[in-house]
């Protein structure tokens, strides 16, 4: 009995697949040897090839990679197929876990961002919210693990080198395959004197950080940033415009209210240059811990 064959165009139409993908699957060894015409060297496919293509599509739809599909097709044992499916199921479970984690953390970030936008809109509308209890607040900052890049500079120099530091941090994140979520945080060590309410202009340590979702892979840049209780305020605008005045206002308010502060601060970029290039819309949350 003659074997019924199908042209490339017919197979692509039947399987709803492009010629490029069909050829790619054939080159990857996911199809048994394809017949060639004696006279024209055209490819001709059988119903067996169509079955293989539909199987590839079905397995891809439920999360199998092409490498996994090929390994299953080469393994004729039932145990081998069983182990492949079991492994894929465990991977799918882990993927779901990570997706849920990303959703939860993303939702938290979206809420934070919406609050920052609402705050910014009120300030730009020049509504009367300049009350002390609105401008300065007491906070409790939670402990969390972060990927951290450390460098040194003066306070103003480090603010101006924001993009250089951020580019280096992103290179680290990509190199180690780190999943991060949340706002960028910069930690400044000993750049000011909280008692004197003044900057010292000295070169000191700076840490640029991003919260991490998990730490499945070893990385020398991981660090646990301890939680603290302290004071906070928001700075609106570019980093080199009146940022020192925003700090001084917070330091003086804390001193007037009898709060003793550490000589360390955290800047959380709520609305940053990564969201808009218009620096008048940048919102930075400044946080300073209480002294132990």
pLDDT of residue 132: 46
Q: Count of CB atoms within 10 A of residue 134's CB?
A: 12
Between 93-97, 182-186, 198-202, the lowest mean confidence (pLDDT) is in 93-97
Between 15-24, 210-219, 222-231, 263-272, the lowest mean confidence (pLDDT) is in 210-219
pLDDT of residue 126: 62
pLDDT of residue 131: 45
Residue among 61, 1, 8, 13 nearest 31 (CA): 8
Residue among 140, 93, 287 nearest 209 (CA): 287
Give the torsion sign (CA, 27, 30, 32, 34): negative
Q: What is the pTM of this model?
A: 0.65
The pLDDT tens digits for 204-257 are 999 999 998 778 788 999 999 999 999 999 998 888 778 889 999 999 999 999
- Specify whether the CB–CB gap between 286 and 235 falls below 8 A: yes
What mean pLDDT comes out for the span 77-82?
A: 70
Work out the pLDDT band at 145, boundaries 50, 70, 90: very high
120 against 250, higher pLDDT: 250
Domains of the chain, start order: 6-74 (1.10.1660.10), 107-289 (3.20.80.10)
pLDDT of residue 77: 65
Q: What is the mean pLDDT of the chain?
A: 84
């Amino acid at each position: 009995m003659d074997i019924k064959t199908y042209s490339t165009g017919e197979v692509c139409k039947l399987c709803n697949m492009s010629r490029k993908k069909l050829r790619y699957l054939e080159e990857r060894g996911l199809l048994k040897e394809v017949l060639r015409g004696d006279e024209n060297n055209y490819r001709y496919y059988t119903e067996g090839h169509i079955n293989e293509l539909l199987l590839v599509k079905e397995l891809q739809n439920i999360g199998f990679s092409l490498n996994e599909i090929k390994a299953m097709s080469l393994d004729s044992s039932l145990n081998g197929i069983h182990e492949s499916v079991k492994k894929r199921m465990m991977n799918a479970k882990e993927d779901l876990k990570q997706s849920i984690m990303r959703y939860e953390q993303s939702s938290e970030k979206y809420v934070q961002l919406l609050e920052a936008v609402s705050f910014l809109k009120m300030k730009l509308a020049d509504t009367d919210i300049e009350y002390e209890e609105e401008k300065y607040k007491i906070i409790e900052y939670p402990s969390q693990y972060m990927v951290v890049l450390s460098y040194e500079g003066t306070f103003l120099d480090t603010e101006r080198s924001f993009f250089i530091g951020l580019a280096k941090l992103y290179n680290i994140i990509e190199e180690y395959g780190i999943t991060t979520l949340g706002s960028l945080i910069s930690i400044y060590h000993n750049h000011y004197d909280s008692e004197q309410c003044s900057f010292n202009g000295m070169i000191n340590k700076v840490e640029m950080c991003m919260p991490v979702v998990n730490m499945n892979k070893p990385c020398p840049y991981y660090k646990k940033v301890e939680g603290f209780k302290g004071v906070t305020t928001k700075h609106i605008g570019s980093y080199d415009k009146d940022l020192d005045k925003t700090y001084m206002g917070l330091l003086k308010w804390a001193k007037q209210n009898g709060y003793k502060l550490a000589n360390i601060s955290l800047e959380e970029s709520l609305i940053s240059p990564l969201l808009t290039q218009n620096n008048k819309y940048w919102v930075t949350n400044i946080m300073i811990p209480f002294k132990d």
